[in-house]
């Protein structure tokens, strides 16, 4: 909407003055949406009697998962069906340390405190393209 207000409304006869970004409010809304989606999935798991465990899992047998729990300890779960949701992680480049301020991962890009003047997206994956698109629409010059 911000991008459209800045770039396209005028040609439709809509003059908008004083449009600005309130990034802290925008980020709070993003955090609220993520929390809602996460709790919604967890609620569906409970409703459908799915055991939800956070950690690093490995298949101990065709019907057992061994999990190094995120909050410490270990658990082995015996079950008929197993679903491993592997999540994702970013790749690094030799010599470039991700500091989440100047060189950011996709996670860091979701937590920037200001719209950067410029941004370079390395890689052509879906998440990188999405982050570049979002920050471009908010005013960053993205390459």
Which CATH number belongs to the domain containing residue 116 in this structure?
A: 3.50.50.60
Task: Quick: pLDDT tens for 73-83.
Answer: 999 999 998 88
CA 51 vs. chain centroid, Å, equals 24
The pTM score is: 0.68
pLDDT greater than 90 at residue 38 = no
Strand order in the sheet with 74-78: 55-61, 64-69, 74-78
Q: Give yes or no: residues 99 and 136 share one domain.
A: yes
Mean pLDDT value of segment 104-128: 90
Identify the pLDDT of residue 41.
86
Under 8 Å between Cβ of 38 and 30: no
Domain holding 107, by residue range, is 88-143
Q: Give yes or no: residues 101 and 134 share one domain.
A: yes
Number of domains observed in the structure of the chain: 3
pLDDT greater than 90 at residue 17 = no
- pLDDT band with cut points at 50, 70 and 90 for residue 5: confident
Q: Give yes or no: residues 79 and 109 share one domain.
A: no
Q: Give yes or no: residues 94 and 80 share one domain.
A: no
75 is written with which tokens? 């658990």
């Amino acid at each position: 909407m911000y991008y459209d207000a800045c770039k396209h409304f005028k040609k439709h006869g809509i003059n908008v003055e004083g449009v600005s970004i309130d990034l802290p409010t925008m980020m709070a809304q993003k955090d609220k949406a993520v929390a809602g989606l996460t709790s919604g999935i967890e609620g569906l798991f409970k409703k459908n009697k799915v055991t939800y465990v956070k950690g690093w899992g490995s298949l101990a047998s065709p019907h057992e998962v061994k999990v190094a729990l995120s909050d410490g300890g270990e658990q082995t779960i015996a079950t008929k069906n197993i679903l491993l949701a592997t999540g994702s992680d970013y790749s690094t480049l030799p010599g470039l340390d991700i500091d989440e301020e100047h060189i950011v991962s996709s996670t860091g890009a979701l937590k920037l405190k200001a719209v950067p003047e410029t941004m370079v997206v390395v890689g052509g994956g879906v998440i990188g393209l999405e982050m570049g698109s979002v920050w471009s629409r908010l005013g960053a010059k993205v390459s």
